[in-house]
Amino acid sequence: MKIEVVQLENVRSHVKSTVPFTRGFNCLVGGLGCGKSSVLYSIDFAFFGDPIGRSFEYLLREGADAAKVTVQFTQNGNTYKITRGIKRRGKGISQDLEELKLFQDETLIASMNTSAIAEQFKAITGLDRDLWREIVWVRQEHLKELIDAAPRDRQKRLDELFGLSDYEAAWSSIAEYQREYETEKRLLEKDPDVTGREKLAAEYNRVTEEYTLIEIELQNAVEKLAVTKRYLEEADAKLKKLEEKKLLVEELRRKEARLQANIANMQDTATALAQRAEGKKTILENLRQRLSSMDSQIKACKSKLEEAGVPADQPVEALRPYLLGLDDKISSLKAEQEATSRNMQADQKRVSQLSTETENQCPLCLQPLNNEYKTGMLQRIQTENVQRQAAIRQLQREIEGLQRTKHLASEACSNLQMFTSRVEDLKTRIVDEEKSLVELQAELGEKKNADAELRGQLEALRFEISRFDMADLEAARKQREQTFRQYYSVESDLRTKENRKKDLLRRLDETKEHIDHAMQKLERMEKIVKTVQVIGAIRDAYRSIQPKLRSEFVKVLRNFVQQVLDSLVGGEAPLLNVVIDDTYTPYVKSESGTDREVSNLSGGERTLLAFAYRLGLGQLIMQSRTGHGLGMLLLDEPTENLGTEDGSINRLAEAISRFRAIEQIIAVTHSEAFAEKAEHVIILEKEAGISKASIAKGE
C-alpha cells in the first residue's frame, strides 16, 4: 500500500492543502504548530472515521462548520480514493455521511455507510483500526511505549495482537463448560429417576399385570353389551314401528277432519256455484235486451243520414271523407261570397269617385269622359251591384243549408260510431258471460262428483282408524324402557372398565417414560464423564500450546528486530545484540555477555532499539494477521531524545533512508537535519494562521 495524495479542507490550520507523497522515505518538516501532525491525523480519519478521543474537535478548523479529507492510495496495482467529512451540528461535531465515498479508479464502490467502507477498506489493504494505530502509525511520544511498558502489560497487549489471547479466552471458556458438566453430573447422580429405577421397574410389572386382567374383563363386558344392544335394537324397532303406526293413525284422524271440512266446503261451494249460475243467466238476459235497444238506435242514426243525403249503408270510417267534402263546399261558397262582396265594395267606391269628380275623367285609366258615358257607367255599376247583392244572399242560403246538413250528418255519424262500439262490446261480453256460465255449470258438476268421492274416502279412513289398538303401544314402551336400563347398566360398567384401562395405560406410559428418562440420564451421565475427561485434555493442550506459540513468536521477533538493527547500521558489525524473553521484553547483550535493560541504554540507543522493535513487531504481526509484511510506516516526531551533536539524528535518518523492506515511510519532524536524508521532503509553513505545503525535495 502506498499513499499518493492527501487533500485537507478546513482541517486545523489547513484551509485547503494538497500534500503529495511518493514511494520510499517521505518527510514532512516544519515548525511547531504548522500542521504536520494534522496530516497524519487526517489520514487516520479518512481510513477509519473514528475520532482519537471523544470528539472530532482536534480536526475541525476553528470557526469552520465543515471539514473534508481526501486520500488517494494504491494497492496491488489499483488506485483508490477515499473521502470523509465532518460537520458541526449544534454543539457537537459528527461525520457527514454525504461526503463518505470510496472509489476504485473512477468507479464508486461504497458510499454513505461506515460499515461498508470499513469492510471494503479491510478487504483491499488487510488493515483495521487496531492494526493501523498499533503497528503502522507510530504517534508522537509512542515510539518507546512498548519497550517501556511493564512486562505483563506488554505481554497481554502483544498476545492480543498476535492472537494468542484467544487461547487464554478459549481456556477460560472451556473451564466454564467443564464446571457446568461436572455440576450436571452431580445432579444426575442424585436424580430420583436414576436412584429409583429398580422401584420403577417393579411398579411397571405390577401395572402390566393389572392391565392384562382389566383387558379380559373388558372383553367380556363388550360381548355382554353387544347382546344387550341387540335386544335394545329389537325393542326400539318394535316401538318405532308402533309409534309410526300411531303417527299414521293420528295423521289419518287429521285427514278425517280435513275430509269432513272439505265435504262441508264442497257443499258450500256447490251452492255458491249454483247461485252464480243463476246470476249469470239474469245478466245474459239483460245484455241481450240492451243489444236489441242498441240495434234500434243504430237504425235511427242511419235514417237521419239518409235524410241528410248521406249513404248510410257504408262503414263509419267511410263517412268521414263525405263530411270533409261538405266542409270543402262550405269553404268554397264562403270564398265566392267574400269575392263578390269585395267586387261590390270596389264598384261602390268607383261610383262615389265619379259622383264627386268635377272633371269628367276615368278614375282607372284617367281618360276624359263625356257626361252621357259617365251617366251610363254609373247606372251599369249600380245594376251590377244589385245583382251581386242577390248572389251574396243566395250564397248565404246555400252555406246555411250545407251547415245544417253537415251538423245533422256529423251528429248522426258520431252517434252511429258510439252505438256501433257499444254493440261490439255487448256482443263480446255476451260471449264471455255465456262461456263463464258453461264453465260454472261444468265446475258445479265436478264439485258434486268430488263430494261423492270424498265421502267414500271418509268411510275408508274411519275403517283404518278402528283397526289400531293403543294397548300394544304401551306394552312396547315398557319393554323398551326395561331393555334400555339393562343396556345402560352394562354400558356404564364397560365405560368404567375402559377408563380403568386408560388410567392403567397412562400409568404404564408414565412409568415407562420415567424408566426411559432414567436410562437417558444414565447415558447422559456416562457421556458427561467422557466429556469432562476430553475437556480436561483440551484445556491442558490449550495451556501448553500458548507458551509454545509465544516462544516461537519471540524467536521470530528477535530475528526480525536484529535484522532491522543490522540494516539500520548499514551492514557494519552489530551495534546492539538483541535478546527478547517470553514477556516480549527486549534486552541488549554486551560483548562481555551481560544483559542490559532498556532503561540502562542511552537515549540514542533506546530510540534505535524502539524503532527496530516496532518495525520487527510490525513485520511479524502483519505476516501473522494478513499474510504479507508491513508495507507502510507513519512516524510522528521519531527523533525524540536524539540530538545533532552526537549524530544520533543523522544516524536514524540514514538508517531509515537505507531501509528498503517497507515500501513507503512517512515521517513528521521539526528537525531539518533528519529531513535532509529523506527522498521526498514537504515543507509546511504557517502564514496568517493558515498552513501552506510546498515540495522542497523530490518530484
- Higher pLDDT, residue 594 or 172: 594
Specify the pLDDT at position 363: 56
When mean pLDDT is compared over 11-25, 348-362, 484-498, the highest value belongs to: 11-25
Residue 565 clears pLDDT 50, i.e. is over it: yes
pLDDT digits 0-9 by tens, 62-85: 999 999 999 999 998 999 999 999
Q: Band of the pLDDT at 59, cuts 50, 70, 90?
A: very high
Largest interatomic CA distance in the chain: 197
Average pLDDT score over residue span 40-61 = 91
Residue 5 clears pLDDT 70, i.e. is over it: yes
When mean pLDDT is compared over 82-96, 123-137, 432-446, 588-602, the highest value belongs to: 82-96
Residue 173 amino acid letter: S
Residue 278 clears pLDDT 80, i.e. is over it: yes
At 145, list the grid cell: 511505549
Specify the pLDDT at position 21: 95
Specify the pLDDT at position 261: 83
Determine if the pTM surpasses 0.95: no
Residue 573 clears pLDDT 50, i.e. is over it: no
- Higher pLDDT, residue 417 or 79: 79
Q: Which domains does the chain have, with CATH numbers?
A: 2-141+601-697 (3.40.50.300), 310-438 (1.10.287.510)
The Cβ-side half-sphere exposure at 210, using a 13 Å CA radius, reads 16
538 contact partners, CB below 8 Å, separation of at least 6: 174
Is residue 61 a contact partner of residue 8, using CB atoms and an 8 Å limit? no
For residue 691, the surrounding DSSP H or E stretch is strand 690-697
Specify the pLDDT at position 314: 66
Residue for grid cell 544520533: 648
At 409, list the grid cell: 250528418
Is residue 41 a contact partner of residue 13, using CB atoms and an 8 Å limit? no
Comparing C-alpha atoms, which of 320, 451, 333 is closest to residue 392? Answer: 333
Specify the pLDDT at position 119: 93
pLDDT digits 0-9 by tens, 668-679: 998 888 899 899
Is residue 218 a contact partner of residue 424, using CB atoms and an 8 Å limit? no
Residue 38 clears pLDDT 70, i.e. is over it: yes
Residue for grid cell 492494526: 131
Residue 406 clears pLDDT 80, i.e. is over it: no
Specify the pLDDT at position 534: 74
638, 641, 647, 649 alpha-carbon torsion, rounded to 10°: 10
Give CA–CA dist 282/89, Å, rounded: 115
For residue 87, the surrounding DSSP H or E stretch is strand 78-89
